[in-house]
Structure 1
Amino acid sequence: MDAQTLVDERGELWLALAPLWLEREPRETDYARMVEVIQRHDLTLHELEWVFRLELAPVLARHQMSVAGEWRRFDDHKLMRQLVAHNLRLTGWRRKSWALFSGLTTMMARHRWSELMERVAVARGESGY
């Protein structure tokens, strides 16, 4: 997959979900926007979990752990470049390594993710996450 295809297929979703890693708790409007964007993508809750764990968390967790990281707001262009670069390399052993360590990279945003998945399940009329 090339960079443009990644941006076309995942860019909107990635940027919508990035606030899960910001310093502040997401607002109701943030969650509503995330649910709206998720609904436009034809992904199951299981597939969304892997987007969270493998495509987003390895990049965004670095921002949380960095002393000089971006905590209040992300530069969308810079973040998109980082996400595309990460995901272009996400094959073979790298994919397996990130899957193995995804508990660590998702730990600080897990409560927000769980809240979001509950909202998505409700919006879809499904039972809980």
Structure 2
Amino acid sequence: MGASREDVWLALSELWLDNQLDQNDHRHIARVLYASALPLAELQAIYLEEVAPLLWGNHWVTAGVWSGFDPTWLGAGCRVNQARRASRWHRWRCRLLRKPMTYAAEPEWRQVLLCLQELQGSAQSTRR
């Protein structure tokens, strides 16, 4: 069974936790994204327009959340942002604030994308 959008939100939320992720964490997040079967463009939009606007403040506080975000709270906030994606104002705001929203998460996101590419490559080679 594939991963739900809520699973994607929860996995991506790890990028904003106040702790250091390792390669196993990157692989775990990539596996969830892969299992969702969502296109890369949609995953990127979820990262930038649904999760980042909700969680970016965690990297700007002295002692941020490090053990994990409450899934109920996370889901509610991401659902609001998902609905806001239709708004040009929301998309403009996300573009304007992209650097501060993702400055600490972006290196981790790039590592996740590399792991996701590996998964996709492995899946394609096994289909041949």
TM-score (norm 2): 0.78
CA distance in 1 between partners of 2:80 and 2:45 (Å):
17
Q: Deviations over 1:86-122 (max 9, x none)?
A: 3223332122221232222111100000011011111
Correspondence for 1:106: 102
Give the CA deviation at 1:68: 6.1
Residue 12 (structure 2) pairs with residue 17 (structure 1): yes
Conserved? CA contact 1:58–1:105, under 8 Å = yes
Percent identity, please. Answer: 27
Correspondence for 1:78: 73
TM-score (norm 1): 0.77
CA distance in 1 between partners of 2:43 and 2:86 (Å):
18
Q: Could you tell me which amino acid in structure 1 is paired with residue 112 of structure 2?
A: L
Q: CA, structure 1 residues 72+81, in 2 after alignment: closer, same or farther (shift >3 Å)?
A: same
Q: Could you tell me which amino acid in structure 1 is paired with residue 18 of structure 2?
A: E
1:1-129 correspondence runs (5 A): 9-67=4-62, 69-92=64-87, 93-125=89-121
Secondary structure of the corresponding residue to residue 97 of structure 2: helix
Which has the larger displacement, 11-20 or 77-86? 77-86
Q: Structure 1: give runs of 5+ residues left out of the alignment.
A: 1-7
Q: Structure 2: give runs of 5+ residues left out of the alignment.
A: 123-128
Conserved? CA contact 1:45–1:117, under 8 Å = no
CA distance in 2 between partners of 1:89 and 1:9 (Å):
19
Q: CA, structure 1 residues 82+98, in 2 after alignment: closer, same or farther (shift >3 Å)?
A: same
Q: Give the length in aligned residue pairs.
A: 119
Secondary structure of the corresponding residue to residue 67 of structure 2: coil
Give the CA deviation at 1:56: 1.0
